[in-house]
Amino acid sequence: MPTGVAMRDARRQLFDAAERLLLRDGPNALTSRAVTDEAGCAKGVLHRHFADFDAFLTELVLDRIDRLELQATALRQSAGTGTVDGNLTDALTALFESVAVAIVGLITFRDELRDRLRKTRPAGVPLLTEAAAMIASYLAAERELGRIAADADVQTLGLTLIGAGHLLFADRESTPPEPGAVHRMVTTVIADVVQRRLL
């Protein structure tokens, strides 16, 4: 690889390369050499920006969590528009068709990465925990608007929707679930709390 060519935003290029590898080949294929080859740079570039490969992976996961906030904001802003089940179906599909499932697999696969993430995120599975909070925040906004029941337990609903969504999308060997399957799961989970006339 050429070493005299400057990389613009090397961190972003390395993160993007790692995500492509995760989506294409899974967590087993993720090595520092594979990432730098995919990014088209010398291996030393990664080590100039990160203390070691697990530090790189930790920052990759944290970056993906930070990017989830953009989706969370858009989802909260959709409260009161469309339908509750439609908004949730779209949000879960966007989340799990992205690199999220592969990131969770990476966290599960690498003990050192999990240990480092536990220092700032001691509970739950990083990324899935934040995704559940995103769903709960949206449902809380819909509850305030009267589109779901006033006594709806939005925290439990968020956890349930993320867990069920992850299970639907987690099989990397097959094609993603049909949109109808995601929608059926959503409508089943929220059936008791959504105001029927607005479903």
Domains of the chain by start residue, with CATH: 8-49 (1.10.10.60), 68-198 (1.10.357.10)
Burial (0-12, 13-18, 19+ Cβ within 10 Å), 16: middle
Q: Residue 99: which residues within 8 A CB-CB, separation 6 or more?
A: 19, 22, 23, 64
User: Which position has the token pair 């990664």?
Assistant: 46
* Side-chain-side CA neighbours of residue 54 (13 Å): 10
Crossing angle between the packed helical segments 100-109 and 111-118, to the nearest 10 degrees: 100
Task: Spell 167-186 as b/e; 16+ CB within 10 A means b.
Answer: ebbeeeeeeebeeeebbebb
pLDDT tens across 54-99, in order? 999 999 999 999 989 999 999 999 999 999 999 999 999 999 988 8
pLDDT in tens, 2-29: 444 445 688 899 999 999 999 888 888 8
Backbone angles phi, psi at 151, to 5 degrees: -100, 15
The pLDDT tens digits for 132-173 are 999 999 999 999 999 999 999 999 999 999 999 999 988 756
- Quick one: tokens of 195? 């105001």
pLDDT digits (tens, 9 = 90+) for 177-198: 888 999 999 999 999 998 654 4
Percent of the chain, pLDDT > 90? 61
Question: Which has the closest alpha carbon to 162: 123, 135, 197, 198?
Answer: 135
pTM listed for this prediction: 0.85
Distance CA 18, CA 10 (A): 12
Residue 14 CB contacts under 8 Å (≥ 6 apart), including other chains: 35, 36, 39, 41, 45, 46, 49, 56
